Chain A
Amino acid sequence: MKRTHRFAALALLLLLLAGLWAGSVAAQGSTPTDDEVNAIAKQLYCPVCENTPLDVCPTEACRQWRELIRQQLSEGWTEDQIKQYFVDNYGARVLGEPPRTGLNWLVYLLPPVLILAGAFVLFRAMRAWMKPSTTEAAAGPVETPQPATQDDEYVSKFEEELRKRK
């Protein structure tokens, strides 16, 4: 299934390339460098592979897409226009992160909301621990202040003994 996808994409691409080629013979400027092409390809993702940035994708299809970017650059397209072109033709998956529309807001709002909720729960739990119930406090051992200069190993052993003995 993936293969047919790829062939369809290739065929479409070739058609597009041919169209562009025919339409722009006269309008060519200087050839953009690989670095200029990669600067844009880096921000796009291969429309057929999984999670592969277009600038490093080794497939033939991606090579041709990079050539397409070069072509568009030489015709004076801006970076945004080129990105928009890829989004229009291959969907939002070519972008490195979901566009901020509709359902996609979930991916931007859910983590901070969950993290804030987690922080709040933790804060509440810590508050609760700091105010132990009276019975526990009454039965609890007298806390020995920790001497800061002692070898900790012995202090912690001692503390633990005390705790277990209560």
Chain B
Amino acid sequence: MVADFGYGILVVALLVSLYSVVAALVGVRTKSAALVESARRAMLLTWPLITLSALALIYLLVNNHFEVSFVYEVTSRSMPTYLKITAWWGGQAGSLVFWSWLMSAFASLVTLRKWDRDREFLPWVIVVSSVTVAFFLMMSVVFENPFARMWFAPSGEVIKAMLQPAGSTAVPLQPDGRGLNPLLRHPGMIIHPPMLYLGFVSFVIPYAFAIAALVTGRTDDRWIRITRRWTLWAWLFLSFGLVLGGRWAYDVLGWGGYWGWDPVEIAAFMPWLTGTAFLHSVMIQEKRGQLKQWNMILIMLTYALVIFGTFLTRSGVLSSVHAFASSPIGPFFMGFVALTFVISIALLIWRWPDLRSETEMKSMLSREALFLLNNLLFMSVLVICFVGVIYPLVSELVTGSKVTVGPPWYEFSTSPLFAMLMFLMAIAPLSSWGLSSQEKLANINKPVLGGLLAAPVVAYAIWWKPISEIMGSLPGVVISLAIILIVVVLMYLFRKLLWQSVLVASVITAYLAFTYTQNLIALIGFFLVALTLMVTLREFWRATRARQNAQQENFFTAFSRLIGRNRRRYGGYVIHVSMMLMAIGILGIELFQKETQGMIPVGQSLKIAGYTVEYKDLASWDEADKGVNYTRAVVSVYKDGTYLGDLHPRKDFYFDSQQSMTIPGQRPTLKDDLYVLLIDWQPATTTGATFKIYVNPLVNWLWIGSLLFFIGVIIAAWPDRDPEYVPARARNKAYQPSSAD
């Protein structure tokens, strides 16, 4: 009954969103404001409708309605109520409804804003949002219905359908469900998908405005100004979704890492890359009226990648191309991605001449040039990710054999690009220090700058693996030298602004070379981190002092007002600093991770990186009400003979899903993370247990950095007093001063 209700409402929501598309289109065509208003109301109606449907689904989940296939698959009686609710997005069918629900919430929010000055955008924003909502609703209604019941076909096969198919018999009500995969019961996995989806759906809003701008021909930067904060929030959610996913992997997947270059991860990473490039390049459009065409391309790519990412993870194409071809959902998805992308590009080509730059570029070392270099690097990482994800599918289609494109390939191909990005972050604050003034750079411009652009490219080509294999270890040296060369040249150009920071960073690097590591890549990385931190902190100091002198304020007032008045810039610098902290963690775990594994009896110990881990005890017990068997070991940790404490690595076995989850015993410090896994054990504790121990140096800086990152984005995205505020003196002009610049 409730299932029928939920499904019915879902169908109604689909019809309403389709209506809003048609009404908006007809309304524009016939210039009927009433029809557009009707479309807007229809759009606003979808969210309550999907909410009702979702409530029906939650009701079924919480009340153990195992006749519904989805409920049977993701819940069981022993699961606590909050997990039954979050199981909503724990499986394919539910998560698609969740997607539609969030999408429609965002679309509703945006249609509720004041539209006085942007009336002409409204119908097109409705069309884009409603088409997207309708697409996902259609998927739920037609292919992945979370309300479908289970039936026995005459052949004995279980089929899922809303109504009893002819000739079938009802599957008897199951006494218990299969339960959620234990890996998905972790808090990280409960928050991670909503965050990621929030990021995905909120990127649809700037895309909708971009399309509206193209269709209406209002191709100034109004659409960017309206969506600036949407974009930042979208980016925040997406970034946080990625970080939480990493933390989840680190805590429950039991392989001592946070990121495995898995296609599922990359599917979420790709829109992040274009989104990040977009965030940067819109600033150039706002300030200088350049890159309009490029920004359009970036937001279109982001939208396409959002849908494509959902497609990759939801269609089963990754496990096999043939599975994809045999299920209807894959081609439907692919068709939608292709269609929206082609339409977007067609619109862009149509408006291409209107999107020319308003001003010319001053020099190859101007702020715009740095931003363009940043965009080139992000797009390069995207190209690598895209090729890496797609190639196994191509190979399977063409040659019939599957291949793995795994971490070694990605790490090798992306690491120089990340190093260059780090360097750009280091010199980013220089862009506000009169970097572009021509008189300073007039004499050295062309040859040196040509070289500067060519050097990283050449270095990158040399770094590329096949070449490196032919040439032995030489490329490693060459690339390092090339990067050092570029850094040195650029630092020479900016010597007056940079010399203190370079000096400090060099001293820090030299100190690390003596005390911590002689690994060249690590040292380059640490140098870049130190340089960025120094330059950025110096910028905060310099600007605060300047303000202090100009405004006669005390240091703290000047500091807080400085940030308050230039939120986007200083929020951005805080984000850069947080990226550097994360880089410390990534360098640490990637380059210095140590591991050992062994079976030891009670009283014996394993030694690794100065730590001694002694096996003390093991207990195994059932908790019947939770439906879990816990096996928990006690190990004592010593370092250089000093007792540091006990750790409790665990293995939880869930009866309902017949799956287990490995919980590491972790001892986090700023220096490293000791990470002990219980791999295996013998029932009689005398024979011993197998432990796998990782020492992950510096990895906790990754998590510290992500907290700072959050603060940085909040600073940058904090709403103005009134987003639509227009000062009296500017009211007659078509421009709105931006307090965030």
Q: Which of A11-19, A21-29, A71-79, A114-122 lies at the binding interface?
A: A114-122
Question: Chain B residues near A100 (CB, 8 Å)?
Answer: 466
CB-defined interface of A127-156 with B at 8 Å, one 1/0 digit per residue? Answer: 001111000110010010111111111001
Known contacts A96-B407, A114-B383, A107 near B402 by CB under 8 Å: no
Other-chain contact of A126, B361, B433, B434 (Cβ < 8 Å): B361
A window 42-91: CB within 8 A of B? 45, 50-51, 53, 56, 58, 91
Question: Chain B residues near A115 (CB, 8 Å)?
Answer: 380, 383, 457, 460
Question: Chain B residues near A50 (CB, 8 Å)?
Answer: 262-263, 318-319
The 4 closest A-B pairs by CB, nearest first: A148-B434, A132-B360, A56-B255, A34-B597
27 pairs, CB–CB < 8 Å, chain A vs chain B: A34-B597, A34-B598, A50-B263, A53-B406, A58-B660, A92-B404, A95-B406, A96-B406, A96-B407, A99-B403, A103-B395, A103-B398, A108-B466, A111-B383, A111-B384, A114-B387, A115-B457, A116-B461, A119-B457, A130-B361, A132-B360, A140-B360, A146-B434, A146-B437, A149-B546, A164-B733, A164-B735
A119 x B376 contact (CB < 8 A)? yes
Known contacts A34-B597, A151-B550, A160 near B401 by CB under 8 Å: no
Q: In this complex, what residue of B is CB-closest to A143? A: B362
B window 695-736: CB within 8 A of A? 733, 735
B690 x A34 contact (CB < 8 A)? yes
- Known A129-B290, A153-B741, A163-B358; 10 more pairs at CB < 8 Å: A34-B598, A35-B596, A97-B405, A108-B464, A112-B461, A122-B376, A130-B364, A140-B360, A146-B434, A153-B566
Question: Chain A residues near B569 (CB, 8 Å)?
Answer: 152
A98 x B404 contact (CB < 8 A)? yes
B403 x A92 contact (CB < 8 A)? yes
Expressed in whole angstroms, the minimum distance between the Cβ of B722 and any Cβ of chain A is 19
B window 427-477: CB within 8 A of A? 432-434, 436-437, 439, 453, 457, 460-461, 464-466
Main secondary structure of the interface of B (DSSP, over half): mixed
B597 x A97 contact (CB < 8 A)? no
B window 560-593: CB within 8 A of A? 565-566, 569
Question: Chain B residues near A130 (CB, 8 Å)?
Answer: 360-364
A94 x B404 contact (CB < 8 A)? yes
Question: Chain A residues near B733 (CB, 8 Å)?
Answer: 164
B391 x A107 contact (CB < 8 A)? yes
Q: In this complex, what residue of B is CB-closest to A39? A: B595
A58 x B735 contact (CB < 8 A)? no
Question: Chain A residues near B439 (CB, 8 Å)?
Answer: 145
Expressed in whole angstroms, the minimum distance between the Cβ of B25 and any Cβ of chain A is 34
Question: Chain B residues near A104 (CB, 8 Å)?
Answer: 395, 403
Q: Is B379 an interface residue (CB 8 A)?
A: yes
Expressed in whole angstroms, the minimum distance between the Cβ of A27 and any Cβ of chain B is 24
Q: Is B388 an interface residue (CB 8 A)?
A: yes
CA A38 to CA B693, docked complex, whole Å: 12
A98 x B360 contact (CB < 8 A)? no
Known contacts A152-B432, A157-B737, A160-B287, A93 near B402 by CB under 8 Å: yes
CA A159 to CA B596, docked complex, whole Å: 60
Question: Chain B residues near A123 (CB, 8 Å)?
Answer: 453
CA A114 to CA B401, docked complex, whole Å: 25
Q: In this complex, what residue of A is CB-closest to B257? A: A56
CA A69 to CA B498, docked complex, whole Å: 54
Q: Is B394 an interface residue (CB 8 A)?
A: yes
CA A126 to CA B565, docked complex, whole Å: 32
B window 340-374: CB within 8 A of A? 357-364, 369, 372-373
CA A92 to CA B406, docked complex, whole Å: 12
B372 x A126 contact (CB < 8 A)? yes
Q: In this complex, what residue of A is CB-closest to B357? A: A129
Q: Is B662 an interface residue (CB 8 A)?
A: yes
Expressed in whole angstroms, the minimum distance between the Cβ of B729 and any Cβ of chain A is 10
Q: Is B289 an interface residue (CB 8 A)?
A: yes
Other-chain contact of A95, B384, B404, B546 (Cβ < 8 Å): B404
Expressed in whole angstroms, the minimum distance between the Cβ of B499 and any Cβ of chain A is 16
A98 x B405 contact (CB < 8 A)? yes
Q: In this complex, what residue of B is CB-closest to A136? A: B360
CA A43 to CA B44, docked complex, whole Å: 53
A112 x B360 contact (CB < 8 A)? no
CA A107 to CA B399, docked complex, whole Å: 14
Q: Is B616 an interface residue (CB 8 A)?
A: no
Q: Is A4 an interface residue (CB 8 A)?
A: no
Q: Is A33 an interface residue (CB 8 A)?
A: yes
Question: Chain B residues near A145 (CB, 8 Å)?
Answer: 437, 439
Expressed in whole angstroms, the minimum distance between the Cβ of A69 and any Cβ of chain B is 13
B464 x A151 contact (CB < 8 A)? no
Q: Is B246 an interface residue (CB 8 A)?
A: no
Other-chain contact of A51, B263, B383, B413, B550 (Cβ < 8 Å): B263
Question: Chain B residues near A38 (CB, 8 Å)?
Answer: 595, 597
B window 393-434: CB within 8 A of A? 394-395, 398-399, 401-409, 413, 432-434
CB-defined interface of B649-687 with A at 8 Å, one 1/0 digit per residue? Answer: 000000000001010000000000000000000000000
A35 x B598 contact (CB < 8 A)? yes
CA A2 to CA B260, docked complex, whole Å: 23
CA A129 to CA B291, docked complex, whole Å: 11
Expressed in whole angstroms, the minimum distance between the Cβ of A165 and any Cβ of chain B is 9
CA A103 to CA B403, docked complex, whole Å: 11
Q: In this complex, what residue of B is CB-closest to A159? A: B287
B597 x A106 contact (CB < 8 A)? no
Q: Is B159 an interface residue (CB 8 A)?
A: no
Q: Is B28 an interface residue (CB 8 A)?
A: no
B737 x A51 contact (CB < 8 A)? no
Other-chain contact of B404, A45, A150, A159 (Cβ < 8 Å): A45
Known contacts A93-B402, A103-B395, A140 near B379 by CB under 8 Å: no
Q: Is B254 an interface residue (CB 8 A)?
A: yes
CA A156 to CA B434, docked complex, whole Å: 11
Question: Chain A residues near B609 (CB, 8 Å)?
Answer: none
Q: In this complex, what residue of A is CB-closest to B691? A: A34
Expressed in whole angstroms, the minimum distance between the Cβ of A68 and any Cβ of chain B is 17
CA A123 to CA B450, docked complex, whole Å: 9
B405 x A129 contact (CB < 8 A)? no
Expressed in whole angstroms, the minimum distance between the Cβ of B250 and any Cβ of chain A is 13
Known contacts A50-B318, A119-B457, A145-B439, A93 near B565 by CB under 8 Å: no
Q: In this complex, what residue of B is CB-closest to A164? A: B735
